[in-house]
Amino acid sequence: MLFDANTRLIKVIATIALLYVLYKEFTNQVFEAVIGFSLIILLYFVLLWARETWLSGVKYAVISLLILAIELILNDVYGITDAALLWPLVWILATVYDKYKYLSSILALLTIVVFICISRPVTFTAPLILVGLFIVVLIRKIWKNAYRMKELHLQEINKAHQELKEAHAELQEATMNSMKYAALEERIRLAREIHDGLGHQLTSLIIQLQALEIMLPDEPKKASEVTTQLLQIARQAMAEVRFSVREWSSDEMGLGIIALKGLVSQIQGRSPIKFNFVQESKISEWPNETSIVLYRTLQESLTNILRHSNATSVTIHLQEVNDEIILKVSDNGDYVNEVPLKAGFGLNGMIERCQQHGGTCTFTSAKPHGLCIEITLPIEKRSHHDIHNP
């Protein structure tokens, strides 16, 4: 907008200057000469104020040649040697250089030649100044276009950055929803196990307690044996309760380890591969960003195994050591150390994601064959209570 305002101001100043030159310098000429100079001024008005969409290279060439032709006619017929009205033409041709490079240069050169031909006395100072004017206007035009391109590029970068931020936020939200779904599915699975396992044992315990009540008066010895069985059932039920409580309390936010387990359970449900999730240490609550990185990298690891490994079993090891989370995913697939690992978009994405959060992601061969992916992430902040190893 600033450049547009400046351009309009320059056009107004140029128009006033042309009218002033016509009135001051050429009104004392013969009538035919005044008509010729007026026609030149009119042609300049067309160049200055016509819409850019209307003007074209051909029209610039025709109008410029008409101006030069009138100047030559006035010089030849009336002996007029004042070429002051050629100066604006050099300026105008320089302003359209970016659109019509060769045409603008040729017409400007032709204008300078005509200027030399009709000017008296002959001097090279004015033509050099004309060349300098063309170069100065051209440099200003180039700088103006560069500034516009810079502003446009900056706007595009800002727009792309905003779109990237929105896409990242949407991706984070989608990941969070996926993790919540996985955690919910894992909780439903645990609830089902409690219902099926603990419910069955409690039912059996109730039935045998009812039988024990009948046996006590008549068969005290057999009742003692039944009591032992009942204690065993009760201990099994208690073990089920403790395991389930540990599973439920492993992640109070529902976005950490329970989401990882839920992801493994989801994939296990649609794959013949046997998955084994091993928690090797106490686990603390993780920040959402850390949980998302672990979830996404585990998801990509398991997806890569399903697509390329031909594995029959996968083991996931998770532990916290020295304020770091270590996640290892090992399979018994086809990969052997002799074959160079070609990291595609997914594996490279895992590496970059871990590095962005101050961690690492490495790939080694498993024995005797298969791939081991080890992800290490720092724990940004720990909760006040840890979850004991099951």
Quickly count: other Cβ atoms within 10 Å of residue 124's Cβ. Answer: 8
The helix (H) or strand (E) run that includes residue 302 is helix 288-308
For the segment(s) 253-390, the CATH number from 3.30.565.10, 3.90.550.10, 3.10.450.350, 1.10.8.60 is 3.30.565.10
Q: Report the percentage of the chain scoring pLDDT > 70.
A: 75
Residue 13, pLDDT score: 77
Residue 274, pLDDT score: 92
Pairwise pLDDT comparison (42 vs 179), residue with the higher score: 42
Nearest-angstrom CA–CA distance, 281 and 353: 24
Q: Which of 324, 293, 287, 313 is nearest to 370 (CA)?
A: 313
Nearest-angstrom CA–CA distance, 184 and 295: 15
Residue 112's identity, in one-letter code, is I
Asked if the model's pLDDT at residue 3 lies above 50, the reply is no
Highest-confidence segment of 10-19, 103-112, 343-352: 103-112
Nearest-angstrom CA–CA distance, 296 and 175: 8
Residue 384, pLDDT score: 38
* Helix 87-95, helix 31-49: angle, nearest 10: 20
Q: Report the percentage of the chain scoring pLDDT > 90.
A: 12
Domain boundaries, the chain: 2-122, 253-390
pLDDT per position as a tens digit, 121-178: 767 777 788 788 788 877 877 887 788 888 888 888 888 888 888 877 777 777 777 7
Average pLDDT score over the chain: 78
Residue 253, pLDDT score: 46
Signed CA dihedral, 136, 138, 141, 143: sign only: negative
Q: 3-class SS at 152?
A: helix
Stated pTM of the model? 0.47
Number of residues in the chain = 390
Residue 360, pLDDT score: 93
Q: How confident is the model at residue 359 (pLDDT cuts 50, 70, 90)?
A: very high
The helix (H) or strand (E) run that includes residue 116 is helix 101-118
pLDDT per position as a tens digit, 205-245: 677 676 666 666 666 666 666 677 767 777 776 666 665 55
Q: How confident is the model at residue 382 (pLDDT cuts 50, 70, 90)?
A: very low
Signed CA dihedral, 266, 267, 272, 273: sign only: negative
Residue 215, pLDDT score: 64
Asked if the model's pLDDT at residue 248 lies above 60, the reply is no
Residue 328, pLDDT score: 94
Contact 322, 304 (CB under 8 A): no
Residue 390, pLDDT score: 44
Q: What average pLDDT does range 74-89 have in this prediction?
A: 82
Residue 225, pLDDT score: 67
Residue 62, pLDDT score: 93
In this structure, which long-range contacts are made by residues 221-230, counting pairs with CB atoms below 8 Å and at least 24 apart in sequence? 230/205
pLDDT per position as a tens digit, 291-337: 888 888 998 898 888 888 889 999 999 999 888 999 999 999 888 87
